[in-house]
Structure 1
């Protein structure tokens, strides 16, 4: 006989909102951007008005925790699915502010046309139209007396049926009495089972976001300061993107400004670097993994619940220790010296712009490695080398693409067990063999995707060695990247298009080069055989060409080597294009190899 793992109840929306406001149900602080657009909020209200179902909320009551006196304590409900709907309801019905995608506080105001029973997002046109009630929250919160309001409305809308308007406004006010289903998962379920239940219930089959689940769990615990800890994560991520938010915290959250968390993150108010702007998921993962030496966030939820993995029971002292350890990890993550030194290491690897790093996971793991080595008081010079190499190795091997948790868990435990030096050497031996450099990497460079991580590493190698731009005497690749200089083609794009080549063929990485726009304009649509020949001819005469300021053969050869230009370009036409691509890919791979082993 199967065991029921959940119960289903219906409660009026008003009751649920009251529970949330009184913290009976733990909902994360509304500090992260609200991902629904306003029209979706409008549609949700319209569905409620018409009596349509709006789905279930899924909650999980904290598991029973053994207290020191041997008794058991049961915590609050944690909302693990339905946060967006709850936020939408609080915004539309109660007039609460939300944070938009630009991290600005704003309101989503829903208007109602009682004659046609239509809802719309408030806009300037509605503001000028007397037939609309501009903000339904005023009605829901009973800030107006309905009979008086209806009479006033009908005075400005002479064709309106007073009885009908009254009926529709009462219907609107009644939506807070509509039932909303709550699926409450049993408190004795472990995190693995909760996750499985969620996946099976969810109509779209999406896996539960372990980070969201963990953040809800943190926010639910006020005994060990989880609510303040949770707020520090949101505020840090917000400040990293919008330093001006600092003043809002000072003005609106006086209590938080007295905490040690606020003092630790205050430096962000002057921070403009956007190379690594972590989201709450990144910050939580890095802090947890670097301190707990575990890579699976579901383990964090279990530990914060007091889970004893050996006895499979829940104990208060484990929950207390876990919150304290997570706090330590968060504080280390936010520390100005740690964060800025890590960014310095990343930049010293040649990655000077966020466009060169397409994977946040590789940055996350590199920061984990940095924090672990720093805590172990490893030699600072060795920390720099190990972090740089792990970062680049991760990119080159696609180590954390896809679903990375298992790989992160394995790597961190190995690094903790045998040390970063030994583990890195073993990974290099198995994954960065000669075959990788001579065949594997050239094959990966056979792509037309300019955002390819391999091209990012190639550019980093040029920045690291302070290479000049193609045919430039003074302007560096670093300058061109920082000034958003264009990536241009050695075999001009239009030259190849005119000869019938498609985008995937002419936009090959091996055909890309960082080049000043004025030099590219001078090259025009000419084939390499023509413009390379002209360059060499001018150099023999000891003069700079119209293709740049280089005027001697030695500097030109250095420039060609820096950009992995194959020999014989002065003879290359369309017939040589495939051979050119193959030769340049091999040279680019060798340049990346030399760069890697000098990190």
Structure 2
């Protein structure tokens, strides 16, 4: 709940719960699991597993190593667990995250919710009650129909970079219109000022000026940068290759 994963369908890896539950059980002794420093280390290990996509298959050896290494890291301040040091995230992976089949895709959505993301119409923060009551789901920011009409690269517009959690009501108002058009509609529908709506938009790591200007390309580059920063913060690890030739060609510029 604290990590903004509200349903089993949105859980990145059910397999990672096995070592997680064991680690937490061991750390209950002395009430360590409730201290901030210990929780932060467990969270770091967890997100390294998610964004490193390390719990997809053949996990038995990793289970055993993580249980021993994470507990030793916390209790005795020993070396970083292998799952933390094994973490690697290629910036190009953002364009490959096209559906919620991927653990990293689900992880990105959880990080957006952790950022106190607000619904575009109501401005309500998407906590557990809002998630259930307002039927929060993942939707395109630049709508699919609009992107197809404009001939934009599907690899970009259908990637996690162009998606965010929104209520069903907000998504209906968005329709297939240009962002500049649907933002005006949202202001009228929700009786919200432009300033407030811009704040709601920014809570999703979206630059409101680029959205209001229908600036798709710069939006993609800017949001990719922000998502990479969020992943680095969650994992406590630096992401390399943000200025590689491949990245610059794919995103239209470096991501650092």
TM value normalised by structure 1: 0.34
| Match of residue 560, structure 1, among 197, 201, 216 | 201
Is the contact made by 1:461 and 1:591 (CA closer than 8 Å) also made in structure 2? yes
Is the contact made by 1:450 and 1:509 (CA closer than 8 Å) also made in structure 2? no
Deviations, residues 466-498 of structure 1 (Å, cap 9, x unaligned): 331234323526445324423221111112233
Residue 498 of structure 1 aligns to a residue whose secondary structure is: helix
**1:407 alignment partner in structure 2:** 62
| Match of residue 494, structure 1, among 128, 142, 145 | 145
Consecutive unaligned residues of structure 1, counting only runs of 5 or more, are: 1-346, 536-543
**2:32 alignment partner in structure 1:** 378
Counterparts of 1:424 and 1:561, CA distance in 2: 38
**1:571 alignment partner in structure 2:** 213
Consecutive unaligned residues of structure 2, counting only runs of 5 or more, are: 237-256
Are 2:189 and 1:550 aligned? no
Counterparts of 1:424 and 1:349, CA distance in 2: 25
Counterparts of 2:154 and 2:127, CA distance in 1: 25
Deviation at residue 352 of structure 1 after TM alignment = 1.8
The 5 Å alignment of 1:203-282 reads: none
Q: 1:493 to 1:460 in 2, by over 3 A?
A: same
Structure 1 moving runs of 4+ over 6 Å: none
Q: 1:549 to 1:427 in 2, by over 3 A?
A: farther
**1:582 alignment partner in structure 2:** 221
Are 2:3 and 1:349 aligned? yes
Residue 77 of structure 2 aligns to a residue whose secondary structure is: helix
Deviation at residue 585 of structure 1 after TM alignment = 1.7
Residue 190 of structure 2 aligns to a residue whose secondary structure is: coil
Counterparts of 1:509 and 1:592, CA distance in 2: 13
Deviation at residue 563 of structure 1 after TM alignment = 0.6
Is the contact made by 2:19 and 2:64 (CA closer than 8 Å) also made in structure 1? no
Deviations, residues 421-480 of structure 1 (Å, cap 9, x unaligned): 735756687456xxx6xxx36433222113332232233234334331234323526445
Instruction: Specify which structure has the bigger relative contact order, considering alpha-carbon pairs within 8 angstroms and separated by 6 or more residues.
Output: 2
Which is worse superposed, 422-431 or 506-515?
A: 422-431
Tell me the number of residue pairs that the alignment of Structure 1 and Structure 2 aligns. 232
Are 2:100 and 1:450 aligned? yes
Is the contact made by 2:139 and 2:171 (CA closer than 8 Å) also made in structure 1? yes
**1:461 alignment partner in structure 2:** 111
**1:398 alignment partner in structure 2:** 53
Q: 1:377 to 1:519 in 2, by over 3 A?
A: closer
Counterparts of 2:170 and 2:105, CA distance in 1: 21
Residue 164 of structure 2 aligns to a residue whose secondary structure is: strand
Is the contact made by 1:523 and 1:547 (CA closer than 8 Å) also made in structure 2? no
The 5 Å alignment of 1:95-494 reads: 347-375=1-29, 378=32, 380-381=34-35, 382-415=37-70, 417=72, 419=74, 422-423=77-78, 425=80, 430=85, 440=89, 442-446=91-95, 447-474=97-124, 476=126, 478-479=128-129, 481-483=131-133, 484-494=135-145
Is the contact made by 1:496 and 1:506 (CA closer than 8 Å) also made in structure 2? yes
TM value normalised by structure 2: 0.73
Q: 1:349 to 1:476 in 2, by over 3 A?
A: closer
**Greater strand fraction, Structure 1 or Structure 2:** 1
Q: CA RMSD in A?
A: 3.3
Q: 1:412 to 1:518 in 2, by over 3 A?
A: closer
Q: 1:429 to 1:361 in 2, by over 3 A?
A: closer
Counterparts of 2:91 and 2:138, CA distance in 1: 20
**1:326 alignment partner in structure 2:** none
Is the contact made by 1:519 and 1:548 (CA closer than 8 Å) also made in structure 2? no
| Match of residue 165, structure 2, among 514, 519, 543 | 514
Is the contact made by 1:361 and 1:400 (CA closer than 8 Å) also made in structure 2? yes
Counterparts of 2:79 and 2:8, CA distance in 1: 25
Counterparts of 1:421 and 1:472, CA distance in 2: 47
Residue 526 of structure 1 aligns to a residue whose secondary structure is: coil
Is the contact made by 1:488 and 1:512 (CA closer than 8 Å) also made in structure 2? yes
Counterparts of 2:231 and 2:5, CA distance in 1: 13
| Match of residue 524, structure 1, among 157, 165, 175 | 175
